[in-house]
Structure 1
Amino acid sequence: MAKEKVIILTHTADNISVDTVTRFVQEAGGEAIRFNVDQYPLHSRLSSVYRQGQQEIVLENESGIHTLHDAAGIWYRRSYNIGKGLDKIIDREYLPATLLESKRTLFGMIEGLDIFQMERYSVYRRLDSKEEQLRIAVACGLRVPATCISNDPAAIRHFMQSVEAPVITKMQSAFAIYREGQEHVVFTNAVEDEHLQDLDSVQYCPMVFQERIEKQLELRVNIVGQAIFAFSVNSAVAARAATDWRKDGAALVESWEPYTLPDELQQKLRAFMDTYGLNYGAIDLILSPDNQYYFLEVNAAGEYFWLDKLCDNAISRQIAHVLLGKAARRGN
């Protein structure tokens, strides 16, 4: 009897999380097939065939030939560097079209798979709307900071005056700026008086402005299927991380601790996940000094490997079991 198999969509430079989930898939009697998308299309082949009303999707890569349409599930973890290396063999004038077609084909085939997916490409794109995230969070009973997303300096100034509290600013997408060979990642930052002089330039690039919530603790909540894994950190112990713990994430890595969420908050977070049909989400919360929980955002590909160590790899084990259908799933 053939083993149940799962597909892990990732890239060659991904971290230990993929290996850990693979181990738990194998321990549960399944087979994990790793699809490194940075090897596509240069070093792997992907084909979709419809015959007599039946769909067949086949991947050929360094580990062999694999059918994808009959897998128990697929973990869409990362899709970095699709088309890597094509610039060395494709003429420059054809390269943009070749990369576009490769991405369109890959994402289209994965979206078209009639199997359990954690998560679908279309769900990732839907989650790009922070506005919808906030709206759904409120509908599920969660508290959110006052927020303005705009490229209108006048609207932003009016928002800041109406909040009557300190304000932070951040970008909706994750990126870095490279200056003199150095990578400068754009994190969340406090808006100071001197920044207001440059506010007019926001017209050329919209930004997120949000009420700054004082922090008792920052929380990262990983929800996998119906299981909740919550962790907290006091980011104030590192001065650089006071506004955004990621600014000094390495210094704080040993400061995270398991955290028990109130039952009512767990119910609200599950309702939020149900609305999207998400089976994996890394949710960022703030616990204020007056013991109020504030929802910031969910990331369907949020990192968790440093937290997995605090719970004996229970997050990775749960991911493996959800992919294999051995643990409760949300409708997908």
Structure 2
Amino acid sequence: MNKILIITHTADNFSIEKVTEYIEKNDCQVIRFDVDLYPLQNKLSTTFQNGEWVSILETPEAHYRLDDISAIWYRRAYNIGSGLKEELDAKFYGAAMGEIRNTLFGFIESVDTYSLGKPGIYRRLDSKEEQLKVADKLGLTIPDTCITNNPDVAKKFILQHRNVVAKMQTGFAITEDGVESVVFTNVVSEDKLEELDTLLYCPMQFQKMIEKKKELRITIVGRDVYAFEIDSQQFEDAKVDWRKDGVNLLDKWVRTELPGDIEEKLLELLDIYNVDYGAIDMIVSPENEYYFIEINAAGEFFWLDNLTEGNLISKSIADVLCDKAPRRNNMVMA
């Protein structure tokens, strides 16, 4: 029986169970590695002896051999080393976490099998600038964009375009008094130009604001394309960034079809990055022009999956992992 390793964490959502269900229907075994239990509860060991590499995962429930797995789904790596800070002297904690991360990510990168996502792939796709440049070369339309930490350059861009949004390039969040606040996309008005002086300390991405007829979230798994649309302009809190009102919009998305040339270019985008999963955000203007905004290497999909009959996105993920559907070969060793 083929073994599929899912790398996630204990607080992940129910999409893991849905994908697991379909993997088991494909007569494959699921091994779940919750990284927040590593290293205090989960133990990972790799040994080379007598010309053979052997990797073992020990969990509180069982021992698993990992060097003969048939595929990996690198889903999430949140809260690695949870609880370790309370166990170690503070002077050792930072160094220990460095070794923990290096060991875990080194294992994931080096496993000689198919992987749906890898730390290195995620790091590359973190570059919004590269995404936009690749999309532009493919012929996708992108908004006028400025990425800078120079306040004067930003001010000039804003004055030139008038209607501009500012966004962070990462999952930027500010924690104060134990409360985490995510920084969403916001409109930058001309009367706020003086506040841009703080760009000196942290760069931002600015884009010409695109008037929205509808917004799209497109989840691609292998060659399967699941496109959904929403009229975000009907909801006050969602007009600039639909994520601000994301919970209330969960059931408002509608399945849609993409123009053939747009779908073809998005599939080519995944070909270039050699990935089999991507969650893509696009805007459709009142003139029906499609603007590429970004691709998320591990973007969430569970709420859209619930809007398909039979959780089809989860099924596509399972089929790719079980080699039951076309996939891009990303094995790293000969």
Instruction: State the TM-score bracket (shorter-chain normalisation).
Output: over 0.9
Which of 279, 288, 298 is the aligned partner of 1:301? 298
Aligned-residue offset at 1:174: 0.7
**CA distances 1:29-69 after superposition (whole Å, capped 9, x unpaired):** 11111100000000011011223443222111133111222
CA distance in 2, matches of 1:66, 1:130: 37
CA distance in 2, matches of 1:328, 1:54: 30
CA separation of 1:132/1:242 partners in 2, compared to 1, >3 Å: closer, same or farther? same
CA distance in 2, matches of 1:147, 1:126: 19
CA distance in 2, matches of 1:179, 1:48: 40
Which residue of 2 is the match for residue 324 of structure 1?
A: 322
CA distance in 1, matches of 2:150, 2:140: 28
CA distance in 2, matches of 1:175, 1:238: 24
**2:9 aligned partner, one-letter code:** H
Task: Return 39-48 or 64-73, whichever deviates more.
Answer: 64-73
Which of 3, 11, 24 is the aligned partner of 1:5? 3
Aligned-residue offset at 1:14: 0.3
Normalized against structure 1, the TM-score is what? 0.96
Which residue of 2 is the match for residue 279 of structure 1?
A: 276
Aligned pair 1:266/2:263, yes or no?
A: yes
Aligned-residue offset at 1:175: 3.0
Q: What SS class does the counterpart of residue 311 from structure 1 fall into?
A: coil
**2:239 aligned partner, one-letter code:** A
**CA distances 1:190-219 after superposition (whole Å, capped 9, x unpaired):** 001232111111111111111111111110
Matches within 5 A, 1:30-41: 30-41=28-39
Q: What SS class does the counterpart of residue 143 from structure 1 fall into?
A: coil
Which residue of 2 is the match for residue 83 of structure 1?
A: 81
CA distance in 2, matches of 1:195, 1:284: 27
**CA distances 1:249-271 after superposition (whole Å, capped 9, x unpaired):** 01111210001011111100011
Q: What SS class does the counterpart of residue 46 from structure 1 fall into?
A: strand
Q: What SS class does the counterpart of residue 169 from structure 2 fall into?
A: coil
Which of 103, 109, 116 is the aligned partner of 1:111? 109
Which of 199, 202, 225 is the aligned partner of 2:199? 202
Normalized against structure 2, the TM-score is what? 0.96
Unaligned runs of 5+ in 1: none
Which residue of 1 is the match for residue 236 of structure 2?
A: 239
Q: What SS class does the counterpart of residue 307 from structure 2 fall into?
A: helix
What is the root-mean-square deviation in Å for CA atoms of aligned residues?
1.2
Which residue of 2 is the match for residue 192 of structure 1?
A: 189
Which residue of 1 is the match for residue 12 of structure 2?
A: 14
Unaligned runs of 5+ in 2: none
Aligned-residue offset at 1:181: 4.5
**1:231 aligned partner, one-letter code:** F
Aligned-residue offset at 1:165: 4.1
CA distance in 2, matches of 1:173, 1:103: 20
CA distance in 1, matches of 2:132, 2:48: 40
Which residue of 1 is the match for residue 145 of structure 2?
A: 147
Which of 43, 46, 50 is the aligned partner of 2:44? 46
Q: What SS class does the counterpart of residue 306 from structure 2 fall into?
A: helix
**1:213 aligned partner, one-letter code:** I
Give the conservation status (yes or no) of the 8 Å contact 1:238–1:251: no
Aligned-residue offset at 1:159: 2.1
**1:278 aligned partner, one-letter code:** V
Aligned-residue offset at 1:185: 1.4
CA separation of 1:325/1:63 partners in 2, compared to 1, >3 Å: closer, same or farther? farther
Q: What SS class does the counterpart of residue 93 from structure 1 fall into?
A: helix
**1:176 aligned partner, one-letter code:** A
Which of 55, 58, 69 is the aligned partner of 2:56? 58
